[in-house]
């Protein structure tokens, strides 16, 4: 139990140091200190802009570990009671912010930074998934051995079957099975672009592409976008100026902005790529989610498109299997060699499980469940967030939240993290200068609908406030 020191210690703004009086047996000490701060702010014993004692000094006075006091100050910051200024100290907030619900009050922290689909809760689906595991188990001895590079014939057939759901009709021999889409992109970029090469992409794009480009020393040229996708005129200009080896695009429910490229814009990009003899890398991670989606770019320009889609966004994040289609047999052979050098092969256990789930209709049922749950969560977002404050689509499981004036993405992300919610700012996606201050918010993953509702409410209330102003550090 903690008794604040206002009965024994002078609480003037500029004289005596504030010290809480602690009693043993009152629960976690860091919460006791934070509660004392809250009590004394409420009663006026701690005045606006009053400096709290340095953490190490207070730890010495109370005979506590420094980490206990540091954790108490962090908790007080989460509650909107204090703010820290680098080089100056910790101060009581000058203007008390309205009470914002805190996830620390009996609720789990919510990680909305990883773009994962909602996890299945259907007993029927889980039973069918387990049935697939049982089939894999029966073949476990054989599956523990090395398999064919690029996938076994039955795994390629399953991949071709899955691609038909997307309107792509390809021979199984053209399908390569990889251990996730990132491995496929690594092989394609290594083969097509290479160190020092130029790659065009969206000006706000998939962060995994940025990581691969940095790893391979590839120069990215970000292209501006509008509501229909990549600006075709800008792409043509970049082709003429930079002579890129390829165009990377995530044309359906783009991660992070959720933009879906229109049919006419897809056709325009294909025609420009043909004219300049530039390959297209189509990352169709989310193309299966919409009930009605534009046709894949690969169906419009199959002779120049390297198509990649995985099961992580449509079946389950842990199912690291992707299917890749090259423009022709020669390109497929070169990609197989690149895959052999970088990943050897996809896990036979995982790829066989994916094959069973596709053949037995389990993957279709999982996709339907993800789509249904995403739509339910989108309705929660629509009830809480301002209508014009974010972009998304009914079947998507992420939002692109545009920040009002005064907010920087980095500041907002830090403020949300301090309150127990993790989101990702635009800087993680911007190829050059961030065109807009925004954050990506995932509404899938392990979080429940209640967690999503609580976190989005916290986000709305935080956005209604002015960002905390910190002193400049010279």
My answer on whether 351 and 218 are in the same domain is: yes
Q: By three-state DSSP, how is residue 83 classified?
A: strand
Distances, alpha carbon 397 to alpha carbons 22, 268, 320, 391, in Å? 46, 28, 19, 12
Residue 31 has pLDDT above 70, yes or no: yes
My answer on whether 298 and 159 are in the same domain is: yes
Q: Give bridge partners of residue 438 from the DSSP assignment.
A: 402
| Helices within 18-122 (DSSP H only) | 29-43, 55-62, 66-78
pLDDT-wise least confident of 86-100, 170-184, 376-390? 86-100
My answer on whether 268 and 193 are in the same domain is: yes
At residue 1 the predicted structure's pLDDT band, cuts being 50, 70 and 90, is very low
**Short-list 248, 252, 224, 250, CA closest to 237:** 224
* Structural domains counted in the chain: 3
Q: Which residues of 409-420 are buried (b: 16+ CB within 10 A; e: fewer)?
A: bebbbebbebbb
At residue 105 the predicted structure's pLDDT band, cuts being 50, 70 and 90, is very low
**Short-list 124, 75, 63, 76, CA closest to 372:** 124
| pLDDT at 13 (0 to 100) | 40
CA–CA separation, 274 and 268 (whole Å): 10
| pLDDT at 472 (0 to 100) | 34
| pLDDT at 95 (0 to 100) | 53
My answer on whether 80 and 154 are in the same domain is: no
At residue 36 the predicted structure's pLDDT band, cuts being 50, 70 and 90, is confident
H or E stretch at 440: strand 438-442
Q: In this structure, are residues 98 and 461 in contact, taking their beta carbons and an 8 Å threshold?
A: yes
My answer on whether 190 and 204 are in the same domain is: yes
**Residue that terminates a domain, selected from 360, 387, 421:** 360
pLDDT-wise least confident of 28-32, 290-294, 301-305, 439-443? 28-32
**Short-list 16, 15, 345, CA closest to 150:** 345
Q: What is the CATH classification number for the domain harbouring 24?
A: 1.10.10.10
Residue 11 has pLDDT above 50, yes or no: no
E-assigned strands of 224-327? 225-226, 229-230, 246-249, 279-283, 305-310, 322-325
My answer on whether 11 and 35 are in the same domain is: yes
∠ Cα 393 399 404 (to 5°): 120
Across the chain, mean pLDDT equals 88
| pLDDT at 25 (0 to 100) | 59
At residue 147 the predicted structure's pLDDT band, cuts being 50, 70 and 90, is confident
Residue 57 has pLDDT above 60, yes or no: yes
Residue with tokens 């995982």: 350
My answer on whether 355 and 378 are in the same domain is: no
Rounded to 5 degrees, what are φ and ψ at 149? -65, 135
**Residue that terminates a domain, selected from 326, 360, 394:** 360
CA-based end-to-end distance of the chain: 42
Distances, alpha carbon 401 to alpha carbons 389, 423, 442, in Å? 6, 10, 11
Share of residues in the chain with pLDDT > 70 (%): 90
At residue 10 the predicted structure's pLDDT band, cuts being 50, 70 and 90, is very low
Q: Which domain holds residue 232?
A: 123-360
H or E stretch at 239: helix 232-242
Q: What is the CATH classification number for the domain harbouring 204?
A: 3.40.640.10
My answer on whether 336 and 397 are in the same domain is: no
My answer on whether 116 and 138 are in the same domain is: no
Instruction: State whether the Cα torsion 126-131-135-140 is positive or negative.
Output: positive
* pLDDT greater at residue 222 or residue 470: 222
Q: What is the CATH classification number for the domain harbouring 428?
A: 3.90.1150.10
CA–CA separation, 389 and 379 (whole Å): 15
My answer on whether 74 and 140 are in the same domain is: no
In-domain check, residue 344:
yes
Q: In this structure, are residues 396 and 253 in contact, taking their beta carbons and an 8 Å threshold?
A: yes
CA–CA separation, 34 and 405 (whole Å): 31
Q: In this structure, are residues 213 and 189 in contact, taking their beta carbons and an 8 Å threshold?
A: yes
**Short-list 255, 171, 164, 251, CA closest to 209:** 255
* pLDDT greater at residue 1 or residue 284: 284
**Short-list 140, 135, 132, 172, CA closest to 348:** 140
* Assigned token pair, 339: 């895959």
My answer on whether 324 and 430 are in the same domain is: no
In-domain check, residue 474:
no
Residue with tokens 């299966």: 288
């Amino acid at each position: 139990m903690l008794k604040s020191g206002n009965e024994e210690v002078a609480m003037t703004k500029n004289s005596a140091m504030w010290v809480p009086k602690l009693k043993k047996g009152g629960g976690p000490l860091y919460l006791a200190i934070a509660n004392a701060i809250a009590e004394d702010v409420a009663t006026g014993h701690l005045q606006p802009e009053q400096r709290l004692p340095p953490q190490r000094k207070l730890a010495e006075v109370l005979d506590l570990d420094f980490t206990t006091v540091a954790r108490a100050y962090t908790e007080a910051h989460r509650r909107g009671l204090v703010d820290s200024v680098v080089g100056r100290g910790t101060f009581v907030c000058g203007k008390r912010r309205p009470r914002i619900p805190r996830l620390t009050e009996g609720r789990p922290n919510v990680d909305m930074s990883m773009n994962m689909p909602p996890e299945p809760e259907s007993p029927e689906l889980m039973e069918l998934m387990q049935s697939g595991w049982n089939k894999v188990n029966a073949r476990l001895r054989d599956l523990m051995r090395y398999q064919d590079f690029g996938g076994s014939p039955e795994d390629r057939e399953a991949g071709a079957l899955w691609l038909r759901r997307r309107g792509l009709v390809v021979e199984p021999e053209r399908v390569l099975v990889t251990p996730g889409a990132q491995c496929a992109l690594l092989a394609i970029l290594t083969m097509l672009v290479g160190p020092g090469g130029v790659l065009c992409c969206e000006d706000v794009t998939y962060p995994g592409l940025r990581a691969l480009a940095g790893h391979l020393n590839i120069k990215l040229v970000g292209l501006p976008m509008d509501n229909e996708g990549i600006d075709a005129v800008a792409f043509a200009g970049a082709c003429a100026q930079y002579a890129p080896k390829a165009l990377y695009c995530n044309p359906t429910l783009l991660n992070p902005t959720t933009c879906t490229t229109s049919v006419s814009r897809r056709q325009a990009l294909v025609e420009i790529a043909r004219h300049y003899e530039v390959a297209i890398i189509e990352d169709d991670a989310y193309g299966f989610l919409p009930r009605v989606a534009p046709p894949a770019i690969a169906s419009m320009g199959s002779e120049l498109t390297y198509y990649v889609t995985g099961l992580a966004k449509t079946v389950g994040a842990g199912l690291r299997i992707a299917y890749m289609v090259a423009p022709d047999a020669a390109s497929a052979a070169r990609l197989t060699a690149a895959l052999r050098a970088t990943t050897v092969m996809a896990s036979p256990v995982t790829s066989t499980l994916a094959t069973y789930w596709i053949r037995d209709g389990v993957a279709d049922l999982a996709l339907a469940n993800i789509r249904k749950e995403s739509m339910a969560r989108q309705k929660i977002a629509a009830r809480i967030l301002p209508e014009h404050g974010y972009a998304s689509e009914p079947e998507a499981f992420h939002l692109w939240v545009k920040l009002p004036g005064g907010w920087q993405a980095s500041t907002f992300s830090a403020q949300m993290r301090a309150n127990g919610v993790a989101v990702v700012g635009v800087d993680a996606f911007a190829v050059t200068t961030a065109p807009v201050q925004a954050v990506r918010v995932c509404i899938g993953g392990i979080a429940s609908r209640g967690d999503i509702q609580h976190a989005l409410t916290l986000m709305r209330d935080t956005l209604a406030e002015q960002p905390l102003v910190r002193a400049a550090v010279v």
